[in-house]
Amino acid sequence: MLGKIKRLGRSFFVSQARPDDVWAHQRLTRAEYGVYARMDPRDREHGVRVAQKLEGDYPDARAELVAAAILHDCGKSVRKYNVLERVLVGLIPYRLSAGWTLGAVKVRNEHPARGAEMVRLAGGRQDVAHLIEQHHSPRADVEAGLLHDYDTLE
Ligand SMILES: [Fe+2]
Ligand SMILES: [Fe+2]
């Protein structure tokens, strides 16, 4: 929850986001970087933070897992949130919003599937797309579970 609040604080001002695009570029294919470049700077910064923490703790993590961590929220770029939506959507737990059809909440709920689709269409790695698809519902997938844990911590 603390991570969520901290992240919420950072989500207000797009001009304050400082994503490490060079670091991300070194870990993504050209096609994947094209998807990354279309993400909101705040989501890029968040993805890079999640990936850097994960890679720091697991230096032997597969390259696909690190790439998926960088890109995991790319599905949110199908529709830009306004400031109020960012706050509200960030506060509504996933389990309570299943089936919501309201614009911003719908995007939030669908962003894992949309993100995976974007990476596949762009020609990114299949395993990267697969991990993105599962990052909020990892089930038995160990790598997706790790991504989920680090995403929650950030
Ligand atoms: Fe997500
Ligand atoms: Fe995330």
Q: Which ligand is nearest to the CA of 151?
A: 2
pLDDT of residue 3: 67
Give distance in angstroms: CA of 89 to centre of ligand 2: 13
Rounded mean pLDDT for each run of 10 residues along the chain, 154 residues in total: 67 80 98 97 96 98 98 88 71 66 76 96 98 95 97 92
Give distance in angstroms: CA of 46 to centre of ligand 2: 7
Residue that has been written with the tokens 């933070």 in this structure: 49
> In degrees to the nearest 10, what's the CA dihedral of 47, 50, 54, 59?
50
pLDDT of residue 100: 60
pLDDT digits (tens, 9 = 90+) for 64-85: 999 999 999 999 987 776 767 7
Instruction: Tell me the helices (H) and strands (E) count for the chain, helix number first.
Output: 10, 0
pLDDT of residue 132: 98
pLDDT of residue 40: 92
The alpha carbon dihedral of 153, 68, 82, 110 has a sign of negative
pLDDT of residue 78: 78
Q: Which ligand is nearest to the CA of 154?
A: 2
Tokens coding 149: 């844990």
Q: How far is CA 116 from CA 15, 17, 83, 119, in A?
A: 27, 24, 25, 5
**CA–CA dist 57, 37 (Å, integer):** 26
107 within 8 A of 147, measured Cβ to Cβ: no
Give distance in angstroms: CA of 27 to centre of ligand 2: 18
pLDDT of residue 97: 66
